[in-house]
């Protein structure tokens, strides 16, 4: 068998009821249905003989899948207490459509993608907390020498029963210092003209910020389309403009930029978000009255809080970029 | 320290079928015999690629030992980075597998998953560190007019991706047909302080589609490069020398 490179679309689809047996593990899985197709593979819901559910990722790139498996294991070992990523069950090959296909079997996460979940007002209010969880996970990876590099709503599920944020798709996780392997333009620092495409802490933080922006003030499709043929300089100006909506967060931004004078690892961002969460839990933030446009008497709604959190991350990543490029 | 001879790739971007000069499939085959892979990205917008163009794109990539992807212009940036990366991995696996077959009588695909993971990690590191020379062969025939803005930004973007790697890289751009009646124009990154993207932005697509001659130009430029290196340090070699 030779080394193959194929698109996810080149993988023959698997019908419900198909039984796949691991070439090495000899364990059998029954295909229930397709969950999703990404750039690197197709993910199926499968069950074993005890009807336990798993997510099985079929890929045409054995090598990429093996690295992904390796990164999932790393994440599990550094965040056992958090339990925020699928566990690896097996890396194996299965035989179908006249060939062996590499598969990664993981625990199944029964959840909703972050953007879907954020559609209700009640959940929207949880956004700062979600952001905290997100940065916590990223910080673990950063401490272990990896950047996640593919922060986008589809890669984070809110688990149905525990309501915990779970990170899936470890295919993009890159050793800090190497080039980013996979990117999605609306979350990519280089595409927006804010820095390089090297995997580092700030690459992730920038993406978190774009994720916040995407969830709270979605960038219209036609703007993205127009920006696709624009110079990164113009894209940068566009984001900066999107971020500078008038509101009470401007004062905080100012405060932050005075506080953040040194390199800012993700742990500092985490601390800042935590401090911020404490401050909104203790009633109205003291700096709310400083709002120049929004009235001091108007109670903040969740969007204000979310936006504020986004700005915190954004500001720190900006400062980070400045420090890094010096 | 060992010499690091690196990887040489040809990446063809076209929205149509060749219509003058040498057969591009034949050229891709020759390039492969000389240690270069050829990959192809076919642009689907406005349907000018057609059945014939698709088949040709696939045949060139197959003969060239590379990858073929058919995409819309707005997916060009991501696809260029992906194809470049995957083609490198293909080359590296090829070399590693040849060695493994000699050592243990198996390619990495036949190895148990744990061992395969070690090989994969090694290839991942090499992908980031090995020296890379890419000849980007760009169709600038009349039909490309409406897609040039997307191509220009994709090339800028490709340079972001390449410069983020730890390994050195060089980008050569071959556009065809040439602006002054020649079959092709060839520029090197080092000749263009202002960036290759802006050079591409200045092109006015027109004329026919001499894909074969453009691939030939790319191949001989990459070969010239290698001979120069061999002269410079008195050695020549292929990836194998470094990988093992
Ligand atoms: N462990 C899992 N549990 C539940 N769903 C999953 C799991 N892994 C992946 N998925 C689903 O499959 C989709 C594609 O998987 P992903 O790993 O993101 O593939 P790709 O790397 O190709 O983007 C995801 O968006 C998600 O909906
Ligand atoms: Mg994904």
A248-252 average pLDDT score: 52
Domain boundary among A107, A130, A160: A107
Examine residue A41 and state whether it is found in any structural domain, yes or no: yes
What was the pLDDT predicted at A283? 42
CA A279 to chain centroid: 26
What was the pLDDT predicted at B3? 45
Which own/partner contact pairs does A25-32 have at CB distance under 8 Å and 24+ positions apart?
A25/A90, A25/A92, A27/A90, A27/A92, A29/A54, A29/A56, A29/A94, A29/A105, A31/A56
Are A122 and A70 contained in the same domain? no
Verify whether the Cβ–Cβ distance A230 to B93 is below 8 Å: no
Atom 16, ligand 1: which residue's CA is nearest?
A169
A259-273 average pLDDT score: 62
CB proximity A92 to B under 8 Å: yes
Are A224 and A131 contained in the same domain? yes
Please state the pTM of the whole predicted model. Answer: 0.87
Run of H or E including A92:
strand A88-96
| B127 touches B243 (CB < 8 A) | no
Run of H or E including B99:
helix B76-104
A19-46 average pLDDT score: 93
| Distances from the Cα of A70 to the Cα of A164, A197, B90, B168, B214, angstroms | 23, 22, 20, 27, 41
Domain of A245, CATH number, reads 1.10.510.10
Task: Tell me which residue has tokens 């956004």.
Answer: A127
Are A103 and A115 contained in the same domain? no
For B166, the token pair is 């730890």
Examine residue A260 and state whether it is found in any structural domain, yes or no: yes
Interface of A with B in 4-23 (CB under 8 A): 5, 7
CB proximity A232 to B under 8 Å: yes
Examine residue A48 and state whether it is found in any structural domain, yes or no: yes
What was the pLDDT predicted at A5? 53
For residue A76, the enclosing domain spans 8-107
Share of chain A above pLDDT 70, in %: 75
Examine residue A283 and state whether it is found in any structural domain, yes or no: yes
Are A167 and A241 contained in the same domain? yes
Verify whether the Cβ–Cβ distance A63 to B120 is below 8 Å: yes
Nearest to A197 among B67, B124, B160 (CB): B160
Nearest to A66 among B69, B86, B116 (CB): B116
Domains of chain B: which residue ranges?
7-236
Query: Is pLDDT above 70 for A323?
Result: no
Nearest to B113 among A92, A180, A183 (CB): A92
Cβ burial B4-13 (10 Å sphere, 16+ → b, else e): ebbbbbbbbb
Are A83 and A144 contained in the same domain? no
Question: Which pLDDT band, with edges at 50, 70 and 90, does A250 fall under?
Answer: low
For A264, the token pair is 């800012």
Query: Is pLDDT above 90 for A191?
Result: yes
A119 annotated ligand-binding residue: no
Q: What are the residue ranges in chain B where pLDDT is below 50?
A: 1-4, 233-244
Are A181 and A227 contained in the same domain? yes
Give SS3 for A167.
Answer: strand
For A292, the token pair is 């120049």
Answer with the residue of higher pLDDT: A256 or B241: A256
Are A128 and A97 contained in the same domain? no
Domain of A103, CATH number, reads 3.30.200.20
**Ligand 1 lined by A40 (C-beta under 6 Å):** yes
Are A154 and A272 contained in the same domain? yes
What was the pLDDT predicted at A156? 97
What separation in Å is there between the alpha carbon of A258 and the centre of ligand 1?
40
Are A129 and A277 contained in the same domain? yes
Contacting residues of A for B120, CB less than 8 Å apart: 62-64, 66-67, 70
Nearest CA of chain B to the CA of A270: how many Å? 27
Atom 13, ligand 1: which residue's CA is nearest?
A36
What was the pLDDT predicted at A76? 96
Query: Hey, what's the torsion of the CAs at B42, B48, B54, B60, to 10 degrees?
Result: -60
What was the pLDDT predicted at A285? 41
What was the pLDDT predicted at B244? 30
How many domains are there within chain A? Answer: 2
What was the pLDDT predicted at A120? 83
Given ligand 1 and candidates A65, A90, A169, A182, which is best to mutate, with the most ligand atoms within 8 Å of its CB? A169
What was the pLDDT predicted at B205? 87
Are A44 and A63 contained in the same domain? yes
CA-nearest residue to B119 within chain A is A63
Question: Which pLDDT band, with edges at 50, 70 and 90, does A36 fall under?
Answer: very high
What was the pLDDT predicted at A15? 94
Are A85 and A169 contained in the same domain? no
| Domain B7-236 classification at class level | alpha beta
pLDDT tens digits along A140-171: 999 999 999 999 999 999 999 999 999 999 99
What separation in Å is there between the alpha carbon of B31 and the centre of ligand 2?
35
Question: Which pLDDT band, with edges at 50, 70 and 90, does A249 fall under?
Answer: low
CA distance A158 to B40: 39
Are A93 and A138 contained in the same domain? no
């Amino acid at each position: 068998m030779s080394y193959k490179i194929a698109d996810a679309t080149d993988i023959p689809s698997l019908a419900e009821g198909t039984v796949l047996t691991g070439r090495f593990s000899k364990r059998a899985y029954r295909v229930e249905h397709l969950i999703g197709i990404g750039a690197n593979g197709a993910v199926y819901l499968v069950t074993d003989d005890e009807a336990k559910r798993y997510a099985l990722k079929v890929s045409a790139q054995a090598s990429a899948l093996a690295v992904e498996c390796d990164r999932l294991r790393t994440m599990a070992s550094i965040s056992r207490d958090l339990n925020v990523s699928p566990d690896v069950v097996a890396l194996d090959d299965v035989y179908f459509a006249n060939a062996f296909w590499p598969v990664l079997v993981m625990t199944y996460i029964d959840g909703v993608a972050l953007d879907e979940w954020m559609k209700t007002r009640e959940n929207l209010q949880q956004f700062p907390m979600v952001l905290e969880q997100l940065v916590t996970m990223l910080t673990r990876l950063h401490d272990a020498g990896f950047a996640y590099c593919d922060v986008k709503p589809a890669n984070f599920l809110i688990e149905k029963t525990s309501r915990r944020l779970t990170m899936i798709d470890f295919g993009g996780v890159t050793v800090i210092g190497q080039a980013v392997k996979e990117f999605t333009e609306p979350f990519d620092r280089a595409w927006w003209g804010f820095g390089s495409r090297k995997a580092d802490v700030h690459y992730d933080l920038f993406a978190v910020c774009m994720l916040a922006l995407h969830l709270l003030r979605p960038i219209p499709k036609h703007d993205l389309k127009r920006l696709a043929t624009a110079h990164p300089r113009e894209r940068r100006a566009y984001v900066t403009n999107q971020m500078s909506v008038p509101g009470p967060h401007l004062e905080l931004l100012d405060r932050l930029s005075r506080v953040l004078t040194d390199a800012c690892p993700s742990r500092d961002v985490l601390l800042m978000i935590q401090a911020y969460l404490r401050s909104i839990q203790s009633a109205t933030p003291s700096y709310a009255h400083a709002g120049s446009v929004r009235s001091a008497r108007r109670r903040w709604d969740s969007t204000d809080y979310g936006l504020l959190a986004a700005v915190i991350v954004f500001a720190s990543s900006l400062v980070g970029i400045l420090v890094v490029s010096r | 320290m060992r010499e690091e001879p690196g990887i040489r790739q040809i990446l063809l971007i076209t929205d149509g079928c060749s219509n003058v000069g040498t057969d591009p499939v034949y050229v891709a085959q020759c390039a492969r015999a000389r240690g270069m892979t050829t990959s192809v990205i076919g642009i689907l917008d406005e349907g000018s690629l057609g059945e014939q163009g698709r088949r040709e794109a696939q045949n060139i990539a197959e003969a060239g030992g590379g990858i073929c992807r058919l995409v819309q212009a707005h997916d060009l940036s991501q696809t260029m980075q992906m194809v470049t990366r995957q083609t490198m991995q293909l080359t590296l696996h090829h070399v590693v597998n040849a060695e493994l077959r000699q050592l243990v009588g198996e390619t990495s695909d036949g190895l148990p998953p744990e061992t395969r993971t070690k090989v994969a990690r090694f290839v991942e590191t090499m992908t980031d560190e090995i020296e890379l020379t890419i000849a980007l062969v760009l169709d600038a025939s009349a039909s490309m007019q409406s897609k040039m803005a997307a191509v220009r930004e994709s090339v800028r973007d490709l340079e972001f991706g390449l410069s983020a790697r730890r390994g050195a890289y060089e980008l050569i751009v071959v556009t065809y047909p040439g602006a002054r009646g020649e079959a092709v124009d060839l520029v090197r990154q080092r000749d263009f302080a202002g960036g290759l993207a802006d050079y591409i932005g200045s092109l006015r697509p027109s004329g026919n589609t001499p894909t074969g001659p453009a691939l030939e130009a790319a191949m001989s430029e990459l070969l010239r490069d290698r001979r120069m290196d061999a002269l410079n340090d008195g050695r020549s070699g292929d990836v194998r020398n470094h990988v093992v």
